[in-house]
Amino acid sequence: MRDKKNILVVSFQSLTERSGAGMARLGYFISGELHRRGLLKEFIVYSKGKFTTPFPSIAVSPLSRYLLYALNKVNKFFPMKPHKFRFLQEQLFDWFCSKRLEGKVDILFVTQPYLLRTFKKAKKLGIKVIFIPANPEENYINEIVTEEKKKLEIYEDDAYTYQKRIGYYNKAIQYVDIVVGSYPTVYDSYAKSGFKGEVVKLIGHLKPDFKPVPPIDRTIGPMLKVGYLAHTVILKGLQYLLEAWEQLMKETNGDANLQLYIAGGIDESMHEYIVKHHLEIKNVQLIGRIADVPSFMKDKDLFVVPSLVDGGPYTALEAAHYCLPVIITSNAGSGELLGRGNSGCKIIPIRDAESIKNEILWAYNNRAAAKQMGLNAKHNLDAYKMEDFISSLGDYLEKL
């Protein structure tokens, strides 16, 4: 009888105690589902450490954990640009991963595309390559970022405009057979790209492990506290939120009942842009990195996700978890979940400060409706079953 254990799952990230970091979380859960069906060969991650799994899992190399440690030490004393350092790690992972393609493997299921050496070897061995992206198509992102940098007069490279990395991706993606789009923008960007393989739409979301909380009955007062939380790079669209806020302050004569709180680290080039163009805006607090996200969310009345491109931002789901209504762009995948049924969000176009301003004003002038929208957001999040998505993905892979 033929051995069914023929799907190899690969994630660039590392395992954690509960599941995995980043897209390794998806890899963790789909590996468990495939193992239950007798289809999993192994789950490969960059670093495993002490963590065990109820299914076969392994670090890409016994040395990878120590190499990562050594690389980080060297980078501390001889720092590389973050995008170059990441690309170095991706290439190292690819080299190790290609060595793991041995024995009987029919399907290679991966959560990141920078695996040129691995994909080429898979094709030689007759292995089908399936890729489920966390973000829209890389050239699509590159185009948006390049346009935005030109507009903001920011000329430094980053992970999305670094040509060596883009070139590596473009070579690697040619060996992928199927791309699974789990967010609408991801699916659309790959379907409209030059990708020659099959693009499959299978909408689903990674639901964070939030500590259960009951619905929050916010008191409707005169003040509207608006929150933003991200590690801010140009793609997060903070520049449009600040532009919207500047317009809002002019139209309301700096109404003190409107307050904007910006949390999270800010990339150096974006920080310089903010200092140069938006430092004098009224009623804005830059509060930097925060350790207590629940307290930040519970203290706000509205949350804004102005991303130009974003797969499924967790911050939008965190806001929904604490009953915050969300303003979110159409290019941020979490809006698909929060906008179901009785919508818990306002979905707006990207790069549209006017729409951001108008929706903030709507929330300010319709406090009861905004409060209900926040309750809708929590309901949509709580009612969503990630297990159904994982099961559907398992069904798809089993049919292949």
pLDDT per position as a tens digit, 355-374: 999 999 999 999 999 999 99
13 — pLDDT class (breaks 50, 70, 90):
confident
User: Residue 21: is its pLDDT beyond 70?
Assistant: no
Domain 7-207+385-399 matches domain 224-383 at the CATH topology level = yes
What is the rounded average pLDDT of the residues 310-321? 94
As a whole number of angstroms, the distance between CA 196 and CA 174 comes to: 7
Q: What is the dihedral of CA 225, 226, 228, 229, to 10 degrees?
A: 30
pLDDT at 71: 87
User: In the chain, where are the structural domains located?
Assistant: 7-207+385-399, 224-383
> pTM of the prediction?
0.92
Q: Assess contact for 114 and 97: CB atoms under 8 A.
A: no
pLDDT at 50: 74
The token pair at 360 is: 């903030």
> Which tens digits make up the pLDDT trace of 253-267?
999 999 999 999 999
Residue matched to tokens 């699509």: 140
pLDDT at 48: 81
Task: Give the three-class secondary structure for 201.
Answer: strand
For 7-207+385-399, CATH number out of 3.20.20.370, 3.40.50.12280, 3.40.50.2000, 3.20.20.140 equals 3.40.50.2000
Burial of 272 (C-beta count, 10 Å sphere; 0-12/13-18/19+) = middle
HSE-up of 216 (CA within 13 Å, CB side)?
A: 24
As a whole number of angstroms, the distance between CA 113 and CA 132 comes to: 9
Higher pLDDT, 1 or 395: 395
Number of neighbouring beta carbons within 10 Å of residue 188:
17
Number of neighbouring beta carbons within 10 Å of residue 187:
22
pLDDT at 1: 39
Q: CATH fold of 224-383, please? A: Rossmann fold (3.40.50)
Worst-scoring range by mean pLDDT, 12-26, 52-66, 143-157, 272-286? 12-26
HSE-up of 134 (CA within 13 Å, CB side)?
A: 18
Query: Smallest Cα–Cα separation from 143: which of 274, 324, 151?
Result: 151
pLDDT at 156: 85
As a whole number of angstroms, the distance between CA 347 and CA 344 comes to: 10
18 — pLDDT class (breaks 50, 70, 90):
low
Query: Smallest Cα–Cα separation from 351: which of 233, 185, 238, 228?
Result: 238
Residues in the chain, overall count: 400
Determine what percent of the chain is predicted with pLDDT higher than 90: 80
> Which tens digits make up the pLDDT trace of 225-247?
999 999 999 999 999 999 999 99
Q: How many helices (H) and strands (E) does the chain have?
A: 15, 13
The token pair at 162 is: 């670094």
Number of neighbouring beta carbons within 10 Å of residue 38:
11
119 — pLDDT class (breaks 50, 70, 90):
very high
Ordered alpha helix ranges (H), the chain: 24-36, 64-77, 82-99, 116-124, 138-152, 163-173, 184-191, 238-251, 268-277, 293-298, 314-321, 334-338, 353-365, 367-383, 386-399
User: Residue 67: is its pLDDT beyond 90?
Assistant: no
